[in-house]
Each structure stands twice: as structure tokens, then as C-alpha cells.
Amino acid sequence: MSFSETIYEAILNGDMGTCEQATRQALAAGTPAGEVLNEAMIPAMAEVGRLFESNEYYVPELLIAARAMKAGLAILKPELVATGVKPKGKVVVGTVKGDLHDIGKNLVAIMVEGAGYEVIDLGVDVAPEQYVRTAIERGAQVIGLSALLTTTMPSMKATVEALQESGLHGPIKVMVGGAPVTQQYADEIGADGYARDAAGAARLVQLLVD
């Protein structure tokens, strides 16, 4: 079995130790971190989602799969993040109110940091006012909102509105993303940009800040 296959299986089985070990071995053998991420970890999590939808996995299996993937990601992170010197700008990120999914948001944070920006990560279940207050206090140019549940997407709209009320929507931009989010939704709520994946989010930050 290749390292990628081992990592894929370890995530499906929620086997954190094997995921960590195979990730270390893959890097030591010269496999690029991006390849481990895109060819093993992300497809494994997509398969976990499919198994959940077909009632073959339940919440406990999702949790242990997510824990295994996060452990592997922690090992990939130093490789994914460039050793930039002076940050090109500041970006506040977080998963919106009511939503506890953080793997995609963590990846976005890693890639944006890798693109040379300081990332202020507010974690999960973040209220609209908290994003806006932090962005103002810390002098951030971009707020990045992640949502994985259709039921929490309205919190993105509420955040854009809270920023508009502060009078700072313009100097501070909003970008949105997450599996149920689309460009059309971003346009509807007045967000400044949408990115489909973490690499796209890093490119978008550059467009929004420059």
C-alpha cells in the first residue's frame, strides 16, 4: 500500500496514530505536502461524508475521522506554510455562528498564512459582531467566513450586514466559502469574494488586499 493509500484508509478508520505515522513517512520519502493533502486527506474526508449520507457512518465515525485528519494536517502544516517574513496583511477567519466544522477553515488559515498574511483564527461558532470587532481592533483587511451547514449560511449575511453597519465595509472585505456556499450566494449577500477551496482562498485574499 502506498503512503497515500495508508493515510486515506487511516482517516476512514479514524486511526489517528497510523495517519500521523504515514504522513511523517510520506514527507520523509519526499512526497510533497500538497499531494498528501489533495490525493489522500481531502478525498478520504469526502468519502467519510458520502458514508455518512448513506447511513453507513454516524456522528462518532465523523468525529474520529476528523480527529485523524487534523492530526495529519498538523504534521503537514509546516510544509504548507512558507517561511515568509513580514506579513502582507491581516485576515480574520472563523467558522460561522452555530457551525462547529473547522477542518476546511483550518486549511484556509494554513494556505492564507502560507501566502504571507497574518491570520487571526477565531475558531468555530463565531458571532457576526465578533468577526467585525476583531477585524477593527486588529486592523485586518479581510474577514473570511466558513460555513459547512446550509442552516448556518444566513450567519454570513448577518456578518456582512454587521460590517456594513460599522461603516467599514469597503476598507474591510468579506470572503466566504465552505461546501454549501456558492459564488451566487456570495453575490446575493454582498460578500466581496467566494473561494471554492483553500488554495483559492489564498489567491482571493491577494486580490482583495492588493
Closer CB to ligand B1M, 54 or 85, in the complex: 54
Q: Distance between CA 208 and CA 210 in Å, rounded?
A: 6
Residue 43, classed as helix, strand or coil, is helix
> Minimum distance from CB of 61 to ligand B1M (Å)?
8
> Minimum distance from CB of 137 to ligand B1M (Å)?
19
Closer CB to ligand B1M, 89 or 104, in the complex: 104
Please report, as ranges, the residues that interact with ligand B1M according to CB under 6 A.
Answer: 42, 45-46, 48-49, 52-53, 59, 62-63, 66, 98-105, 107-108, 144-146, 148-151, 175-180, 195, 197-198, 201
Closer CB to ligand B1M, 22 or 191, in the complex: 191
**What does the angle CA 157 – CA 136 – CA 172 come to, to the nearest 5 degrees?**
55
Closer CB to ligand B1M, 22 or 91, in the complex: 91
Closer CB to ligand B1M, 103 or 189, in the complex: 103
Q: Distance between CA 143 and CA 161 in Å, rounded?
A: 13
> Minimum distance from CB of 62 to ligand B1M (Å)?
4
Closer CB to ligand B1M, 12 or 62, in the complex: 62
> Minimum distance from CB of 92 to ligand B1M (Å)?
10
Q: 114: number of CA atoms within 13 Å, CB side?
A: 21
> Minimum distance from CB of 164 to ligand B1M (Å)?
18
Burial of 30 (0-12, 13-18, 19+ CB in 10 A): exposed
Q: 90: number of CA atoms within 13 Å, CB side?
A: 13
Render 154-208 in DSSP notation, one character per residue: HHHHHHHHHHHHHT-BTTBEEEEESTT--HHHHHHHT-SEE-SSHHHHHHHHHHH
> Minimum distance from CB of 106 to ligand B1M (Å)?
8
